[in-house]
């Protein structure tokens, strides 16, 4: 079973999602959100470009940064949507664990395989009282530059990445729709999604060499 389309693979390699007004969200400060993305970008660039260790080592460093920067649980719960309420507590726990692994593996692979990465801030703007959109340009050697618009909210009094817009599409909407389709095709059971996610992780691990 294919869990992601080409576009959502790109998005899953680059971004995240959460719902505006989610529990714990607070009024966002635009300058703070911008500084947070700048700092996160600088950390990612340093982790990738410092040239110490193997590709796997770089991915590991990138993964640590991303786990700190992203509201992984909020992202995962929003994307599962109404199916969260139908899942058992055990399924919810496994889903969040699998989701975190898929997300971080995709992101760390995207950023951790390249050296010479450059990360440039663009325009920042408030979207609502609770989130801001910070535009960036990512440049990688031998590849076309691409723009990412990061959505940032204050979660538990800390800024966190909650969504990204790439190629004009939001991860939160694209992935939520695809996860729901997997569940529906599997007889409206969350277990069908968990099976697909386990398969996705095996594929990613094989691609990464472990």
- Would you give per-residue pLDDT tens digits along the chain (210 residues)? 445 444 444 444 443 433 444 445 567 889 999 999 999 999 988 888 876 777 778 878 888 998 999 999 999 999 999 999 999 999 999 999 999 988 888 777 666 666 788 889 999 998 777 899 999 998 888 888 888 899 999 998 899 999 988 878 888 889 899 999 999 999 999 999 999 999 999 988 887 665
**Third-level CATH fold of 6-205:** Nuclear Transport Factor 2; Chain: A, (3.10.450)
DSSP-derived secondary structure letter, 70: B
What does each C-alpha distance from 190 to 17, 84, 97, 185 come to in angstroms?
Answer: 19, 8, 14, 11
Question: According to the model, what pLDDT value does residue 86 have?
Answer: 94
Phi/psi for 150 (5° steps) reads -95, 130
Question: According to the model, what pLDDT value does residue 204 have?
Answer: 84
Question: According to the model, what pLDDT value does residue 207 have?
Answer: 75
Question: According to the model, what pLDDT value does residue 128 have?
Answer: 77
Q: For the chain, what are the domain ranges? A: 6-205
DSSP-derived secondary structure letter, 54: -
Phi/psi for 118 (5° steps) reads -125, 145
Question: According to the model, what pLDDT value does residue 14 have?
Answer: 42
| 18/3 Cα distance (integer angstroms) | 20
User: In which element (H, E) is residue 159 found?
Assistant: strand 158-166
Q: How many residues does the chain have?
A: 210
Q: What is the CA radius of gyration of the chain?
A: 17
For the whole model, what pTM was predicted? Answer: 0.80
Question: According to the model, what pLDDT value does residue 129 have?
Answer: 77
Q: Residue 181: CB partners within 8 Å, gap ≥ 6?
A: none
């Amino acid at each position: 079973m294919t869990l992601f389309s080409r576009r959502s693979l790109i998005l899953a390699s680059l971004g995240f999602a959460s719902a505006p007004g989610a529990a714990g969200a607070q009024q966002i400060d635009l300058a703070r959100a911008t500084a947070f993305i700048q700092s996160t970008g600088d950390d990612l660039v340093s982790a990738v470009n410092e040239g110490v260790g193997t590709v796997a080592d770089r991915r590991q460093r990138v993964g640590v940064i991303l786990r700190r920067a992203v509201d992984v649980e909020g992202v995962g719960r929003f994307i599962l949507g109404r199916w969260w309420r139908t899942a058992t507590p055990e399924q919810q726990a496994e889903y969040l664990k699998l989701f975190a692994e898929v997300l971080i593996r995709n992101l760390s692979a995207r950023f951790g395989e390249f050296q010479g990465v450059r990360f440039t801030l663009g325009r920042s703007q408030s979207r609502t009282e609770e989130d801001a959109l910070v535009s960036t340009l990512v440049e990688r050697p031998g590849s076309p530059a691409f723009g990412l618009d990061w959505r940032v909210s204050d979660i538990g009094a800390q800024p966190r990445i909650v969504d990204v817009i790439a190629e004009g599409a939001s991860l939160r909407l694209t992935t939520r729709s695809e996860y729901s389709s997997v569940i529906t095709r599997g007889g409206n059971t969350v277990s069908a999604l968990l099976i697909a996610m386990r398969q996705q992780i095996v594929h990613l691990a094989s691609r990464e060499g472990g």
